[in-house]
Amino acid sequence: MSSVEEAFETQLKNIQSRTGQSLDELYTFIRKRGLTKHGEIRDMLKRDLSLGHGDANTLTRFYLQSEQAPGTCAQAPTQGQAVDEIYSGKKAELRPIHDKLMSAIGKFGLFEIAPKKGYVSLRRKKQFAMIGPVTQTRVEVGLNMKGLRPTARLVAMPADGMCQYKVNVTTAEEVDKELVAWLRHAYDSAG
């Protein structure tokens, strides 16, 4: 089991502990509300169970996943299919960079992974990073954080963008202490 899968498993156990309900009981609670849209379910869980955004979002995703395959218990998703698709074809060579980044970030603590079409978004209370291949030879790490001086490596982004900074990574060896420290700063800033 990867560190990300372990983080999701721990998060689900913590949700059950905080609410005093098993996953089956939580799923029944959600089902009885009759909601079907991710955002509606997430907001209801935040309101009715006082869950934080990340916990409500993760529980919603697992619930919706379990509803697609009735009779099966939701398990922590692997980075698997979505990430495999992102790093397929000519971008497959970049997968070791992604894996090394995720391994480093997984040591920080709990967070949510939200795969998108061409990248993964990483969230706590808010998004702290985006990771994805932007060319066949380069992975871009977008960072949401403030107060750092841009460098040749830590590139400042336009003010209206999704991230304040980006770092271009072309080899797994570039996932070094400096980059991990920036990721940690962004993680801590996301709350």
User: Tens digit of pLDDT for each residue in 74-104?
Assistant: 444 444 677 888 888 999 999 999 999 998 9
Q: What is the mean pLDDT of residues 57-70?
A: 74
- The parent domain of residue 16 ranges over 3-68
pLDDT of res. 71: 41
- Is the domain of 89 the same as that of 157? yes
d(CA 7, CA 128): 16
- The model's confidence at residue 3, banded by pLDDT at 50, 70 and 90, is low
Q: Where does a domain end: 68, 90, 107?
A: 68
Confirm whether 158 is domain-assigned. Answer: yes
Number of C-beta neighbours around residue 18 at 10 A: 13
pLDDT of res. 73: 40
Mean pLDDT of all residues in the chain? 85
Confirm whether 74 is domain-assigned. Answer: no
HEC assignment per residue over the chain: CCHHHHHHHHHHHHHHHHHCCCHHHHHHHHHHHCCCCHHHHHHHHHHHHCCCHHHHHHHHHHHHHHHHCCCCCCCCCCCHHHHHHHCCHHHHHHHHHHHHHHHHHHCCCCCEEEECCCCEEEECCCEEEEEEECCCCCEEEEECCCCCCCCCCCEECCCCCCCCEEEEECCHHHCCHHHHHHHHHHHHHCC
d(CA 144, CA 129): 6
Confirm whether 183 is domain-assigned. Answer: yes
The count of structural domains within the chain is: 2
pLDDT of res. 2: 55
pLDDT tens-digit readout, 125-161: 889 999 999 999 999 999 999 889 999 999 999 887 7
- The model's confidence at residue 110, banded by pLDDT at 50, 70 and 90, is confident
Share above pLDDT 90 across residues of the chain, in percent, rounded to a whole number: 39
Q: What is the mean pLDDT of residues 122-126?
A: 87
Confirm whether 43 is domain-assigned. Answer: yes
pLDDT of res. 74: 40
Q: Where does a domain end: 43, 68, 93?
A: 68
Instruction: Say what the pTM is.
Output: 0.61
More confidently predicted of 110 and 173? 173
Q: What is the mean pLDDT of residues 45-52?
A: 91
Q: Where does a domain end: 68, 92, 118?
A: 68
Confirm whether 75 is domain-assigned. Answer: no
Q: Which of 22-26, 45-49, 136-140 has the lowest mean pLDDT?
A: 22-26
- Is the domain of 104 the same as that of 131? yes
Q: What is the mean pLDDT of residues 156-184?
A: 93
- The model's confidence at residue 166, banded by pLDDT at 50, 70 and 90, is very high
